[in-house]
Amino acid sequence: MTFELSILKYFLLNKPYEVLTQFTDETGRATLKDFVPVPEIYPVGRLDYDSEGLVLLTDDKALQHRLSDPKFKIEKTYWVQMDGIPTEEALEELQRGVMIKNVKTAPAKARLLEEEPQVWERSKPIRFRKEIPTSWVEIKISQGMNRQVRRMTAAVGYPTLRLIRPAIGPLSLDELQPGEYRELTNEEVTELKRLTAGSSFGTGSRPRKTGGTTKNTGGRHYESRNNSSRKKRIDR
């Protein structure tokens, strides 16, 4: 009798603005299917339609469950462009936790960024008011309430104009541009499992190549191995 190992898949996508964090939509809005032509994978958690940045996709159901479980406190990093410049008191309030619909959020890490992060142009510009400057704040949370970051900044008097998630735990976008995706490395998968260790991750596993990464740019799938590269076209 021959047994085959289940080959689990792990991908990281830079979700563009106004894209749903799902693979189908009856109203014709853009979805993950428009950017990641990989079957039978699902997003870990959600990122709002009007937010941008890192989305993790996998068919590893055990890891999905653990990454979504608040007891593991996997930290998510957000860059928030705010309407106005928050005071120290406002930042301290975010750090202590704020009330959202009679529920107090867990303490967050919040700091004003001295320099504007080097990010891509959004497909639709934010609204500007000449008399009120904007600012960028980095907020780190491990909760997953609906539209939590936007509600937090509104609660302290500084509405969110633009929201980007550059990192989840040890994973970061790095040079990945909107609509691009790449496959996670062995080391990244191992670290995610270490951070959410508790019980067995199920029976599925996958033999993986080492020393290589995969990246998709504009419908092309790139592999690099041992400092050499080759291209393989994937139809979209």
Exactly one of 25, 34, 48, 60 is catalytic; which is it?
Answer: 48
**Rg of the chain over all Cα atoms, to the nearest angstrom:** 19
CB atoms within 10 A of CB 212: 14
69 is catalytic: no
User: Which structure tokens are listed for 155?
Assistant: 């609660």
Give the closest residue to 31 by CA, choosing from 207, 209, 179, 228: 179
Answer yes or no: are the C-beta atoms of 53 and 15 closer than 8 Å: yes
CA atoms of 193 and 63, how far apart (whole Å): 7
CB-based contacts of 170, cutoff 8 Å, min separation 6: 188, 191, 192, 195
CA atoms of 190 and 211, how far apart (whole Å) = 14
The residues carrying an active-site annotation are: 48
